Structure 1
Amino acid sequence: MGDDRAANSSADAEQLAQRYRSLVEHAPDGICVHDGRRLVYVNPATVRLLAAHDAGELVGEPLTRFVHPRSIPAMLDRMSRLDTEGSASDRTEMTLLRLDGETVQVETVSVRTPWFDRLAYQVVIHDLTAQRAAEAGQRLAEQHFTTVVSQLEEGVVVIDRDGRIESANPAAVRIFGAGAHDGDLTGYTIGELPMELLDANAQPLAPSRHPIARTLATGETITGYVFGVDRADGQRRWLSGSSRLLNPDDPESSAVSSFADITEFRASRRQLEYQATHDSLTGLANRSLILSQLASALATSEDLPVSTVLFIDLDGFKAINDSLGHAIGDTVLQIVAQRLQRALRGDDLVGRLGGDEFLVLLSGATRRFDVDALVERLRATTAEPIVARGHRIEIKASIGVTALDSDDHRTPEAVLHDADLAMYRAKTTGQASGLRPNNTHAS
């Protein structure tokens, strides 16, 4: 019985040894054994790693033949510390010399292990070539990315979960005007920078309400929002931005905000909008804007925001153009426009329909005698002499009046037509003339 157990135990040990040998032979990492001076075993992976044709080119050779001189001192130091069976070194990087003269970076672990009748060193060798290539590729990509981002005209800022800036490209520093931080915004929150955030309506915007705060809180990508910054140097810059997580698959990811400076574009657009709605000569509302405002007033179902429309025509203006020239005529129109604006309330709107015709929209409820008094004031201020390029010019205005009712169903063009008719009545009588929606009378 005892002999059977011994035989079984020996068979089990041999089977285990065979499995170990098979594992070592097929391992992807190099495995070798040396006695401190020479190699005594190498597996196929080590043969490939050291560019040998077979194990015979390596076994029996001095260990130092395959180790780069700069790695030998550290290797010997590690070997001296492995003085007991089973002791192992830490993972260590070193440089090996291949038979073809090339070098290879590896990571090794050495274990003091029995080898036949003595202790030897078993070394597991992991080739770092692929890892180093990947790391080099990543560094190159990061360098390329950093170079590209640093050259962008668009600002790019990365903000961590605590709201602090992890990185900012030069364009962001330039746009923020953050010179007080010597161009390095890292570690600061937006609220600590020398600027104030504004929303699209130029109202103060708390950093906690900025879209990037929502991106950090919800992971949502937000694009196309407009915000402003009032900088320490007194400049206001308008920005169009987008915010997204740096790594959408990581809920703890930092967020990246990119933004373009649209200050000049916004100013240009506002200028174009102004030019599209205002008369270029006088700066008053043009025909399009004033009829649009009148249409909005007529469309409201509540109290009318406009109560009365005045149509103003300058008597004898054509004679001024014909006798004194259009330059003086333009000066007269500009002065009359300024006088009309000064004579009206801030909520009233005055516009130039074209030529010497002006239209006034009186806001709020107005009483008839108040309108009559206003008409007389406008006629009086218009009649004051105008001195233009040495010429003393006196001009009068004919003013037609039409009132609006809360149930007024006229179109803006119809209201304009009625006010025009009232103006011609005034021109023939020399006084202001009024038209009501449902009846007509002269003032």
Structure 2
Amino acid sequence: MGEDGTVDAAGTPAADARLAGAELLAQRYRSLVEHIPDGVCVHERGAVVYVNPAAVRLLGAGSAAEVVGRPLTDFVHPRFVPAMLNRIALLTEEGSASPPAEMTLLRVDGGTVDVQTVAVLTPWHGHLAYQVVIHDLTAQRTAEAAQRRAEQHFTTVVEQLEEGVVCIDRDGRIESINPAARRIFGVRTGLDPIGCRIEELPLTLLDAAARPLAPARHQVARTLATGETITGYVFGVDRHDGQRRWLSGSSRLLNPDDPDSSAVSSFADITEFRASRRQLEYQATHDSLTGLANRSLVLARLAEALAAGDEQPVSLVLFIDLDGFKAINDRLGHAIGDTVLQIVAQRLQRALRADDVVGRLGGDEFLVLVAGRTRAADQDALVHRLRAAMAEPIIARGHRIEVDASVGATDLLPGDDRTPEAVLHDADVAMYQAKPGGDRGHPTSTHAS
């Protein structure tokens, strides 16, 4: 008798309770096996002795009777039989299991199905047998095939594009280049640029003003350094055959969620377009460094707004000056200063609406023409938004640069009789009144870690 008063002999209450528990556990196991989506097969001495409903369906049989009693090898593709028998031979102790293995099964209806199996040596009606769990790989194989088709389709599309596409890794080496890019760059037949740096190719990069452009100053390098997506920039290439091609490019990270992602640069050949009168007009009215409207264009737009009378299309003019920008040029060089101006220009464009006009007056001065009616509260919010956008740290060539901006504002009212120059003067005065005192607003520069 146990300490708790139960009797352990067979037929006693304690033994009966254990038997009932074991039977309940067995029923639960049988129910689980009968309903799981994976197939379960038990075989001994080379013959199938049990299959669950999922295995019956997997083998294309009408019932378990069509499978039970037949040799196991009837249902395994001959190519996989030797490896399967070797795995079975290694299972010598109760509970030992084979590693997951993929194979092709032969169905009763004559078809085949790819599966993954795991075999376990386990008790079966008082002796040991091999229980096999069979996982159908059809959905996985279908998904893999679909992915391969999608990748092949994508590759085919990229290969056929008239637009050049180049992937560049973190070290500045070419990972892939499509035929259009080879043609645009003038890469000679037989020359494999994969693994090369741009500077190793027989070409010279040019900025929008036709000045030699070091690869480290190209927008792709900026995308790799900052993660920014850059669109609509113009650059040129002088090829080994003497041709100069002008390109309109975009660059972005291949995988924005991966900080170590490569960059993909796409570009269209705009040589003929650039040579057209429209392109010449564009150059005459836009700043070559930032792509913003230049001084003459933005003042022309301001003159148009002043001439509109009561239907005033512009309600507010903002004069923006970067505080301490000269210190950036003095300490870090004009190349980094140019990068800062380009990034500031992009941030201004993103922070404004499509109807607003932003132009570069020269140096580090910008003018914004705000379209529509604006309330005082809206003006304050806009100024705060612009300053916040420009105040975000800029990473350029390993330097972390922080800049602030002074913003002056002047309202345009219906019937305003000022000249564009007078409006510009008033906004300029307001900007100087808004400038911080002392050293506040000066940029700080540290090497980014």
| Structure 2 length-normalised TM | 0.57
Answer whether contact 2:56 2:63 (CA < 8 A) is retained.
yes
Q: Partner of 1:23 in structure 2?
A: 32
- Secondary structure at 2:171 match in 1: coil
Q: Partner of 1:157 in structure 2?
A: 166
Answer whether contact 1:36 1:121 (CA < 8 A) is retained.
no
The CA deviation string for residues 210-232 of structure 1, in whole angstroms up to 9 with x for no partner, is: 22223233332221111112223
Is residue 52 from structure 1 mapped to residue 61 from structure 2 by the alignment?
yes
Measure, in 1, the Cα distance between the counterparts of 2:145 and 2:173. 29
**CA gap 1:114/1:161 in 2 versus in 1, 3 angstroms:** farther
Q: Partner of 2:440 in structure 1?
A: none
Measure, in 1, the Cα distance between the counterparts of 2:226 and 2:36. 46
Q: Partner of 2:423 in structure 1?
A: none
- Which of 183, 192, 196 is equivalent to 1:174? 183
Is residue 185 from structure 1 mapped to residue 193 from structure 2 by the alignment?
yes
Q: Partner of 2:227 in structure 1?
A: 219
CA deviation after TM superposition for structure 1 residue 272, in Å: 6.7
Q: Partner of 1:63 in structure 2?
A: 72
Letter in 2 for 1:219: G
CA deviation after TM superposition for structure 1 residue 190, in Å: 2.3
- Secondary structure at 1:10 match in 2: helix
Is residue 198 from structure 1 mapped to residue 206 from structure 2 by the alignment?
yes
The CA deviation string for residues 131-157 of structure 1, in whole angstroms up to 9 with x for no partner, is: 111111111111111111111111111
Measure, in 2, the Cα distance between the counterparts of 1:70 and 1:37. 17
CA deviation after TM superposition for structure 1 residue 207, in Å: 2.2
- Secondary structure at 2:132 match in 1: strand
**CA gap 1:37/1:238 in 2 versus in 1, 3 angstroms:** same
CA deviation after TM superposition for structure 1 residue 183, in Å: 4.4
Answer whether contact 1:36 1:63 (CA < 8 A) is retained.
no
Is residue 234 from structure 1 mapped to residue 242 from structure 2 by the alignment?
yes
| Unaligned ranges ≥5, structure 2 | 1-5, 285-295, 301-449
- Residue correspondence of structure 1 range 25-104 to structure 2 within 5 A: 25-104=34-113
Letter in 2 for 1:258: S
Measure, in 2, the Cα distance between the counterparts of 1:271 and 1:211. 21
Q: Partner of 1:257 in structure 2?
A: 265
Answer whether contact 2:223 2:253 (CA < 8 A) is retained.
yes
Report how many aligned residue pairs link the two structures: 277
- Secondary structure at 2:62 match in 1: coil
Measure, in 2, the Cα distance between the counterparts of 1:210 and 1:32. 63
- Which of 259, 264, 267 is equivalent to 2:275? 267
Q: Partner of 1:133 in structure 2?
A: 142
Letter in 2 for 1:142: E
The CA deviation string for residues 48-93 of structure 1, in whole angstroms up to 9 with x for no partner, is: 1111122222111211111112221221122122222222222211
CA deviation after TM superposition for structure 1 residue 11, in Å: 3.3
Letter in 2 for 1:197: L
**CA gap 1:172/1:59 in 2 versus in 1, 3 angstroms:** same
- Secondary structure at 2:256 match in 1: coil
**CA gap 1:231/1:23 in 2 versus in 1, 3 angstroms:** same
- Secondary structure at 2:159 match in 1: helix
Measure, in 1, the Cα distance between the counterparts of 2:212 and 2:247. 15
- Secondary structure at 1:28 match in 2: coil
CA deviation after TM superposition for structure 1 residue 120, in Å: 1.5
Q: Partner of 1:124 in structure 2?
A: 133
| Structure 1 length-normalised TM | 0.57
**CA gap 1:70/1:256 in 2 versus in 1, 3 angstroms:** same
Letter in 1 for 2:215: P
Letter in 2 for 1:193: L
Letter in 1 for 2:124: W
- Secondary structure at 1:179 match in 2: coil
Q: Partner of 1:395 in structure 2?
A: none
Answer whether contact 1:95 1:103 (CA < 8 A) is retained.
yes
Supply the RMSD in Å over aligned alpha carbons.
2.7
**CA gap 1:207/1:138 in 2 versus in 1, 3 angstroms:** same
Q: Partner of 1:209 in structure 2?
A: 217
Measure, in 2, the Cα distance between the counterparts of 1:259 and 1:190. 15
Letter in 2 for 1:43: N
Answer whether contact 2:117 2:132 (CA < 8 A) is retained.
yes
**CA gap 1:83/1:204 in 2 versus in 1, 3 angstroms:** same
Letter in 2 for 1:255: A
Answer whether contact 2:105 2:113 (CA < 8 A) is retained.
yes
**CA gap 1:183/1:132 in 2 versus in 1, 3 angstroms:** farther
Measure, in 2, the Cα distance between the counterparts of 1:229 and 1:183. 18
CA deviation after TM superposition for structure 1 residue 101, in Å: 0.7
- Residue correspondence of structure 1 range 246-325 to structure 2 within 5 A: 246-269=254-277
- Secondary structure at 1:123 match in 2: strand
- Secondary structure at 1:84 match in 2: coil
Measure, in 2, the Cα distance between the counterparts of 1:252 and 1:22. 49
Q: Partner of 1:323 in structure 2?
A: none
Measure, in 1, the Cα distance between the counterparts of 2:23 and 2:33. 15
**CA gap 1:269/1:8 in 2 versus in 1, 3 angstroms:** farther
**CA gap 1:253/1:244 in 2 versus in 1, 3 angstroms:** same
